[in-house]
Structure 1
Amino acid sequence: MLKTLGKVALLVLAVLVAGAWLVVLRLKNVPLPLLVGYGLLLLGLVAGLLWPGRFTRARVLLFAGAPAALATLGIYFAVVFYISDTPVLIGLAAATALASAGAARLRAARRPAGAAKAGHSRRAVLLAGAGVALGAVSVVSAGQVERRRAALAEQGRGAREEALRAPGARRRVTDGAVRVFPIHTGDTIVTYGQFYGGLDGWEGGSGYLRTLLDKAEIAVPVYAYLIDHPRHGTMMVDSGVNWEQAHDHDGYYNHNAMVSRLLSQRDEYRMAPGQDLRVQVARLGYDIKDITTVFLTHVHDDHAGGLRHLPQAKVVMDRHDWDGGVLYPHSFDLVKDNLDFPRFDSGTYSSFAQSKDYFGDGSVMLLPTPGHSPGHLCVALRMDGGSALFIGDTLYTLPHLASGQVRQMTIGGEDTARQLDAARRIQAHLRAEPAAAPLFAHDNTPYQAGVVSSVLSSGLPGADGFQRMRRHMDTVLTPSYELRPGHAPSYIPAAAGAGAGRVEFR
C-alpha cells in the first residue's frame, strides 16, 4: 500500500513539473497540438516507469524515454536555446564524459586482469580524452559567444548612429516654456484579449491562463514622455524599453537567471534604430545625461527598460510598487541607489483624495492609482494653456476611458476594484478640468497617432492644442464616458504567416 501511494505521489509530482514545463513552452508560442502530443508522451514515460506491467523498464525507456528525450532536446533548441547556452551545454557534456571516465576507471580497478579490465581501461581513457577536449571547446566557445554578442551590439550601435544622422534633427528651444515630447520606444506584442478583453473574461488567473491558450496577438506602441521644465530641468515620465530588450532579449533577461528568460517571450518587443530612447532624445536637441528625474508610473519592464540609459537620474515611484510589483532587477541595476519614494501627503487634488505636490509649486502632481500594479501612479503636469495627465497603464488607450465598455485584463478581486476606482477618478478629473488632456503609454488609436503626435510635435501644445485633444475625445466619448458609434475595438487577424493581427475601430 505504501509503495503504491509513493508511486502515486511521484506521478503527481512529475505531472506538476511537466505541466510547468508545458506552460513555459506555451509562453514561447509552441503550437498547442504539439504540446498535447508531447505532454502525453511525457505522461506515458512516467506512468510506464512506475507501472511497467508486462513491459520492462528498459523497453519503456527505449520506446518512450528515447523519443521524449529527443523531443525535449528538439523543443529546447527550437524555442529556448540562446547563444550563451553553448559553452554551458558543452561544459555539461565535458563533465558527463569525465564522470563516465571515472566510473569506467573504477570498474576497471575492480576487475581481475583480462579482456574486461582492459576494455574498461580503454573506455576510461577515451572518455577522459573526450571530456578534456570538450572542456577546451567550452572555454574557446565562451570567447566566441562573447565576440558574437559584441559584434551584434556593434551593429546596433552603427544603426543608431545612422539614425542620429538622418535629416530632421532639432535644436533645443529654451524660451522658458514647459514642453512635453512623446517618445515612441518601439512596440510590444500582446494578446488582443489581454489588451481589450477585460469585460470578456480576461481577469485574474483565468485571464492569465487565456494568454497561454489564445494567441490572437497585436502590436501596440510603448510610449515614454520627455519633459523640459524651465525650473525643474529635463525629466521623463516612464522610460520605455531599451535596445537589448528588443534585439538581445534572451541575453537581457538572462541577467536575472534562466527562469526570467523562460517566462518572457523572445519576440515581445520590436524597436527600429530611430526609436531608441538615446536617439530620440538627442534628435530632439537634448543630452540624455541631463535628464535628472524619471517619474515611473510603475515598475513593469516596458516602462522601466530605458532606465539602463539614465544612471544619473533620480527615479520617483511609489514604494508599494518597488516592494510588491513585478520587478526585473537588471533594468534597475544602475538606478537602484537613486530611488525616491514620495509620501502622498499634499492633500486632495481634483478628484483624487491623496496627492503629492512633488516640487511644492503645483507644477507636478503625483496621484496614486493602484490596481494595475500595487503602487501605480499617474502624473499631472501643469503647462501653458492646460495640463497633461500621464495615465501610464491604468487605462491603455482613449477608448479605455469608457471603462464600462472597454477594459484591459485586470488582476482580479480588490486590485480590479482599485483600478476601476482609479479610472473613475481620472474620468472625474478630466470632466472637472476642461483644459486637461490624457496622455497614454500604449494608445494604438488615432488619438495618439494623429492628434497627440501632431499637437506635441513641438512639445508646446498651448491652449489650442489642449482643446484639439479634448475635441477629439468628444468625438470618441460621450460626456458620461461611453463610446460613440464607430469607436469600439475589433480584432482583425493577420494573413497566415504574417505575424500579429491589427485592431480596427467600428
Structure 2
Amino acid sequence: MGPVLKVLGRVGVVVLGLAIVAVWLVLRLKGVPVPVLVTYGLVLTGLGCGLLWPRALGGRARRRTPAFFGVAAGLGTLGLYLAVVYHVTDLPVLLALAAGACLAGAVVAVLRGRRSADGRPARQARRAFLMGGAGLVLGTASGLSGGLVDRQRRASMARGERERQAAVRAPGARRRITDGAVRVFPIHTGDTIVTYGQFYGGLDGWEGLNGYVRTLVDKAQIAVPVHAYLIDHPRHGLMLVDTGVNWEQAHDHDGYYGLTSRLLTERDEYRMTAGQDLRVRLARLGYAAEEITTVFLTHVHDDHAGGLRYLPRATVVLDRRDWEHGVLYPHSFGLVKENLSFPAFDSGAFGPFPGSQDHFGDSSVILLPTPGHSPGHMCVLLRLDSGGVLFMGDTLYTLPHLATDQVRQMTIGGQDTVRQIEAARRVQRLLASDPGVVPLFAHDNTRYQFDLVASAFADGAPGEAGLRELRRGMESVLTSDWRLRPGHAPRFVAPASGTGLGKVAFG
C-alpha cells in the first residue's frame, strides 16, 4: 500500500495546486487585491495539507489544524463570494441553503438526543428546537425574498425602458428612406472592455492557454466598440449582420448570466448608453426590431448574439459548426433556437474561398467560411448598387489587423490559429481582387470606423464615391502587400491615474 499511497499523495498535491491556481486566477480576474489572494491561497494550502497528510501532524495538531484552516477557508470563501460574485438574485437561494443546513442540524440533534443519557437529551432537544426554528425562519425569509428580488429587478428594467423611450424621442431621429437602394447602417451597440493584449497582442505571446491566462491577470484594459449592421434590401427585406450586446448584459450583467459565467467574466465587461440600445438605434433610423426578417450571425459569441433576444421572428443564419461546437451562451439564444438556418456552403468556390453559400441565389449575399476565431466563424459579402461590403465579424478586429504579420489579436492556438490566419489571407486576396469591395469590422476602434465608415454610410448608401474614399482610407494605412504604413502601429497608453481604462494610440 505504501507506493500506492505515495502516488495518491502526489496526485493530491497536483490537484490541490491546480485548484488553488484556478481559484487564484478567477479571483484575480475579479480584481481581488494581491495581498488578499496570497493570504487566501496560504489558508487553502494549509487546509489541503491537513486533509491530505493528517499523519504528518501529531497529537492535537492533527485535529486542530484542519479545523482551524477549514473555518478560515470557509469564512474566506464566503467573504470573497459576497464581495466579488454575489448578486441579489442569489439571496433566496442562499437563505434556502441556510434553512436546509439548520433543519439538517436539528435532525442530527434529535438523533443524538435519543442515543444520549445523563441530561444530554435535554441539551440536544434545545439545540434541535433552536436550529429547527432558525430553519423555519430562514425558509420563510427565502420565500419572501424571492418576491422582493423579482420586484427590484422589474423596477430596474422599468427604469431602463423609460431611458430608452426618452432616447427614441430625442431630437435627430430620421425617417426611413425608401428609394429602392440597398442601404447599410452601422449600429454601435455599446462597448466591450478587453485587455490590450487580447486585442492587439497575438504576436506577443497572447495565444492559446497562455493568452487566456493572461486575460485573467492582465489589467491593461481598453474599451472597444461593438458594431452590428442593418441592411435594408429592396428584395430581401430588413436584415442584420450580428446583433451586438443587449441592455441586460450591460446593465444587469450578473443577473443576466449564471454563476459560472459570473465567475469567469468581469461585472463591467460591457457598457452601453440608452441611445446605443439596438432597439433604440433601429427606431431612430425609422425601423423596428419586429421588422427584421434575417440575421446573419458571423459567430455565436455573446457580444455578437446578445441582441437576438429582441428578434424572436427573425431567421438566424449561422454555421452549424459554431452552433454545435462554439462558445454558446443560451441566455441570448433562448427565443430564436427554433428559427435557425445552417448554410451548406455548397455554392462552389468564390474567389480565394474554396466554398461559399449564395444565400438568396441571386449573388446579393454570399456567405464565406472563415473558421479560427470560432469553429464556424463566417464573413458576409453584400453586393451594393455600386460595389460591395465585406462584414468581417471577428476574423480581424480592425483595419490595421489586415496587416496580419504585424498586428494580430489573441488566437485560440494550434490548428485554430492556422485556420484564422488562413482565413485572413483569403480576405486579403478577396479585397485585392475587387477594388469595389470594402471591409466593415465589428470592433474597429480606429479613424477608419468612426470617421470614414460613419461618413460614407451616413445615409446607408455610400455610392461609388463613398466606397472609393474608404479604399483610399485603407491604402493610407496599408500597403498593397498588407503591411502597415508608418504612423499606424498600435500601442497602449496607460491611464494617467494609473487605474482605469487605457487608450490605443497609433504611431
Same-fold call, TM cutoff 0.5? yes
Matched, 1:159 2:160: no
Corresponding position of 1:68: 73
Corresponding position of 1:207: 211
CA gap of 1:136–1:450, structure 2 versus 1, over 3 A, is same
> How high is the TM-score relative to the length of structure 1?
0.96
CA gap of 1:118–1:261, structure 2 versus 1, over 3 A, is same
| Alignment equivalent of 1:169, drawn from 166, 173, 192 | 173
Kept after mapping to 1: 8 A contact 2:113/2:124: yes
| Alignment equivalent of 2:37, drawn from 20, 35, 38 | 35
Percent identity between the two aligned chains: 61
Q: State the distance in 2 between where 1:197 and 1:116 align.
A: 67
Matched, 1:372 2:373: yes
Which amino acid in structure 1 is aligned with residue 210 of structure 2? S
C-alpha RMSD over aligned residues: 1.6
Which amino acid in structure 1 is aligned with residue 267 of structure 2? R
Kept after mapping to 1: 8 A contact 2:25/2:213: no
Q: State the distance in 1 between where 2:431 and 2:12 align.
A: 58
Matches within 5 A, 1:144-293: 144-254=148-258, 258-293=259-294
Question: In terms of mean alpha carbon deviation, does 1-10 or 446-455 score higher?
Answer: 1-10
Corresponding position of 1:82: 87
Corresponding position of 2:98: 93
Kept after mapping to 1: 8 A contact 2:317/2:340: yes
1:209 offset after TM fit, Å? 1.6
1:38 offset after TM fit, Å? 1.5
Question: In terms of mean alpha carbon deviation, does 483-492 or 54-63 score higher?
Answer: 54-63
Corresponding position of 1:298: 299
Kept after mapping to 1: 8 A contact 2:25/2:217: no
Matched, 1:360 2:361: yes
Corresponding position of 1:48: 50
Corresponding position of 1:311: 312
Residue 424 of structure 1: SS of its match in structure 2? helix
Corresponding position of 2:451: 450
Deviations, residues 59-96 of structure 1 (Å, cap 9, x unaligned):
31454333322221111111111111111111111111
Deviations, residues 116-155 of structure 1 (Å, cap 9, x unaligned):
2222111111111111111111111111111111111111
1:5 offset after TM fit, Å? 4.8
Please list every run of 5 or more consecutive structure 1 residues that lacks an aligned counterpart in the other structure: none
Corresponding position of 1:334: 335
Which amino acid in structure 2 is aligned with residue 80 of structure 1? V
Which amino acid in structure 2 is aligned with residue 288 of structure 1? A
Kept after mapping to 1: 8 A contact 2:103/2:135: yes
Q: State the distance in 2 between where 1:198 and 1:29 align.
A: 24
Which amino acid in structure 1 is aligned with residue 200 of structure 2? Y
Kept after mapping to 1: 8 A contact 2:26/2:216: no
Q: State the distance in 1 between where 2:212 and 2:31 align.
A: 14
Give the count of matched residue pairs. 502
Residue 225 of structure 1: SS of its match in structure 2? strand
Corresponding position of 2:344: 343
Q: State the distance in 2 between where 1:3 and 1:407 align.
A: 48
| Alignment equivalent of 1:128, drawn from 132, 142, 157 | 132
Q: State the distance in 2 between where 1:351 and 1:497 align.
A: 46
Deviations, residues 143-175 of structure 1 (Å, cap 9, x unaligned):
111111111111111111111111111111110
Corresponding position of 1:387: 388
> How high is the TM-score relative to the length of structure 2?
0.96
